[in-house]
Amino acid sequence: MVSAAVIGCTGLVGSYITKSLISSPAITRIHTFSRRSLEDPASASPSKLTSYVSNDTSKWVDELSRLPSPPDLFFSAFGTTRAAAGGFENQYRIEHGLHLDLARAAKHAGCKVFVLVSSSFANHNSWLPYARMKGEIEENIKAPNFEHTVILHPGMIVGSRSESRPAEAAAQALVGPLEH
């Protein structure tokens, strides 16, 4: 019996992770933490999937610590944009702070594996704020010392998103013909 927790479960990558976990017979319990409801949770039985939805992400740590048993696996595909956060300082506080708080809470609860979906540009020494933030998250996510910490560096993530991201749309238009 393997259980998992997912943050960022409503985004492009997180929704794919969640659907994969739902369809896996090896996963018996899934806990999701998100700011909005899952789009299509119907494929999961209520006994397998528990969703906690709150715009106040600071409450997610308390909810994680209240789980009857710790998740074996913790997946983070959580992120926000500078625009949605209201500036880079808020984006940093939300992304860096929440990742670290949830990693500590997961470790304290007894979680053994933490999987972070980061960025291919992550570099804690970068002069680019976004790349530096992602790099600092990666460095600090190692501190709780899980049995296994997995950091993924995806390339360009292509797919339809619920919010507008003009720069990504332009990059996808340029790269699109190259992907086949």
Q: Per-domain residue ranges for the chain?
A: 2-174
> Taking 50 as the threshold, does the pLDDT of residue 180 lie above it?
no
Q: Quote the CA–CA distance of 78 and 99 in Å, as a whole number.
A: 8
Question: Is the Cβ–Cβ distance between 148 and 114 less than 8 Å?
Answer: yes
CATH code reported for the domain at 2-174: 3.40.50.720
> Taking 50 as the threshold, does the pLDDT of residue 3 lie above it?
yes
**Terminal Cα-to-Cα distance of the chain (whole angstroms):** 39
SS3 of 168, please? helix
Query: Could you tell me which residue, 163 or 63, shows the higher pLDDT?
Result: 63
Query: Could you tell me which residue, 19 or 158, shows the higher pLDDT?
Result: 19
